[in-house]
Amino acid sequence: MEMEHLSGEEYIACYPQVNGSCRRQYRSRSESVFIYTLFSSVSLLTVLLNLLVLISISHFRQLHTPTNALVFSLAVADFLVGLLVMPVEAIRTVESCWFLGRVVCALNPYSAYVLTSASLGNLVLISVDRYVAVCEPLLYPSQVTMRRTLVCCTINWACSILYNAWQLFQHLSNPDANNRCFGECVVVVSYINGMVDIVVTFIAPCSIIIILYLKIFVVAMSQARSLQARVGCSKSSGEKTRRSERKAARTLGIVVVFFLLCFTPYFCWPFSIDISSLHFLTWILQFNSCLNPLIYAIFYPWFKTAIKHIFTLKILQTLSSEFKVLLD
């Protein structure tokens, strides 16, 4: 990377007092302030929105369902992305030098990998949950229980932590091994491990998600036609339940679609991509953590109601956890 030979661009040393220091592109103060402000705003918005999801689901007893437990687990991953990963990525994008030391250099990519894997695992579990709810509604109450859902969430997080510890073992044990100069933090994954990672953390889970949602779509369309044929009849409680499950499947399907749109460019990037484009694709991937709660706010009436109770401090009232936030 011969940065000093690029015409029209000015570069300065990361650590002027150190021989062998890395060099970074010079940015004006106004440009740096603008980029930091933009990225900080996205990070703060991601943290606040996902915190509202976490408070809503954990506080209101009516929201304590297996589906919302999966949404809660996904919101935890998104919250941690905004809190831990985005601020560091902002520094990397603006400065292009590494000022945060060996420990953060080791842990930051590991935490980003873990949260990405956990998010994909959560979406697989959400797809399975919606498939059983829409396609096997009679089995749903007995097969999808809160206890089983929590066990699946725990296994998902444990697998993400252990798998990525294996993937990044060399980097975690010696984060400076692949640095070419002082002031750099480089993660290198072997070609074989990279191919395995693409299959395990992207192709396989995305294939499962797409197949399940295609089946859900076919069944939902069939059920909708069946309900239209009974327009003159009164709606039974079973029909209302099926409509509710299909609506939840649609909303979570939108979450899945945006997830794939944000994640696919990153996992499909060519190996010859330049560093600026890689930072851009990384931010697209991480911006998905901010999109999810926005989707809930648009399509979930209970989330809007819960937010009103939170901002008006009604959740501080006695027995506020029993408030009705779900519409019939």
The CA-atom distances, in angstroms, between 89 and each of 92, 97, 149 are 5, 11, 32
For the chain, the first-to-last Cα distance in angstroms comes to 61
H helix and E strand count, the chain:
12, 2
- Whether 156 has a pLDDT exceeding 90, the answer reads yes
Euclidean distance between CA atoms 211 and 75, whole angstroms:
24
Range of the domain at 295: 32-223+240-312
Euclidean distance between CA atoms 281 and 149, whole angstroms:
32
> pTM for the whole thing?
0.84
Q: Which residues pair with 269 in a beta bridge?
A: none
> What per-residue confidence (pLDDT) applies to 2?
38
Nearest of 126, 134, 128 to residue 222 by alpha carbon: 134
Q: Report if residue 4 sits inside a domain.
A: no
Q: Report if residue 305 sits inside a domain.
A: yes
Euclidean distance between CA atoms 169 and 167, whole angstroms:
6
Q: Report if residue 160 sits inside a domain.
A: yes
Contact 70, 122 (CB under 8 A): yes
Helix H or strand E segment including 12:
strand 11-13
Q: Which residues pair with 24 in a beta bridge?
A: 12
Task: Report the CATH number that the domain containing residue 299 is assigned in CATH.
Answer: 1.20.1070.10
Q: 90 pLDDT band (50/70/90 cuts)?
A: confident
- Whether 268 has a pLDDT exceeding 50, the answer reads yes
Q: Report if residue 69 sits inside a domain.
A: yes
Q: Report if residue 110 sits inside a domain.
A: yes
Tokens of 4: 């000093």
Q: Report if residue 195 sits inside a domain.
A: yes
Q: 255 pLDDT band (50/70/90 cuts)?
A: confident
Indicate the SS3 state at residue 11. Answer: strand
Q: Report if residue 72 sits inside a domain.
A: yes
Q: Report if residue 22 sits inside a domain.
A: no
Euclidean distance between CA atoms 15 and 179, whole angstroms:
15
Q: 237 pLDDT band (50/70/90 cuts)?
A: low
Domain count, the chain: 1
> Average pLDDT in the 154-167 region?
95
As a dihedral over the C-alpha atoms of residue 293, residue 295, residue 296, residue 301, rounded to 10 degrees, the angle is 140
> What per-residue confidence (pLDDT) applies to 224?
64
> What per-residue confidence (pLDDT) applies to 225?
67
- The identity of residue 84, as a single letter, is L
How many residues does the structure list for the chain? Answer: 328
Q: Which residues pair with 182 in a beta bridge?
A: 21
